[in-house]
Structure 1
């Protein structure tokens, strides 16, 4: 699939089929994260790939208060990836100026995962609401690491078509004029 088509098609899928993701495809998706760019090529990330149904079953219990009702679907995902980073490996200059390079870097890598998955007709959904300390304990993540985001992956329960992944067309987006300024904020392209 063309990269622009994958970007256009990528949407949050919350209804997964029970079909497992083939190991070859999962490795291809993870390779997209491995080759993602990072600040000073630090690659200050680590990805925990979860496919054990017993562990996945526990993840909804680790989400932030008030969101438990909206993410029970996550138990149906065949794979969940926890995108982790460590500040110890980040570029010192970024820290000096208060830039969260490490968080940006792992976010870029996780987006690579989402786009690569979409290109293979595998659905994804980002999850940012979780109790980090409980989740780190569940996944045995060392203290020095932080979890930036979770990404659920799986084949959509609804068939993909030429109209979009999971049978649903891409969602409407704002026009470029609404989101782009040229040279200075408010000066239009």
Structure 2
């Protein structure tokens, strides 16, 4: 078990890893589409639900996996494959995962699985093995703050970034996610 201490470098690393995994900026086109379909997005509700899911999984995720007979390494490898596929979607512009139409977008699919999905949960479990829990919680809180600001300002961001800017962000974060997926896979397989 990691000692409980605050370390700025760890907080920065955790924040950046989760930021890349959650990819809230790369998800702006999806969020805009959801907002148009649902009429509005409740930023506060989506942020709070995502926060609760991530922190809860940080503390009980491993126990839950053991309860159903899955070890963390296997979950992390499976998650690395999901992250890899999501990254390939972002880089290649191909949709592997198909969404349904939703009446409300604040909880499903926004808070879960878009923000706090399988990739994020896998990343949180992997981070738990490398970083101190308080640093992970601070990284989660920083990301939730960023998510809230993005959700509150999707209209402005859409105008500022334009289609080209959104496409560039999506590709850049896709490459970062590919690297994270490969690192997770290598770490948990011993390669």
Using the size of structure 2 for normalisation, the TM-score is 0.26
- RCO higher in structure (CA 8 A, sep ≥6): 2
Greater Rg over alpha carbons, structure: 1
Select the structure that is richer in helix: 2
Select the structure that is richer in strand: 1
Using the size of structure 1 for normalisation, the TM-score is 0.26
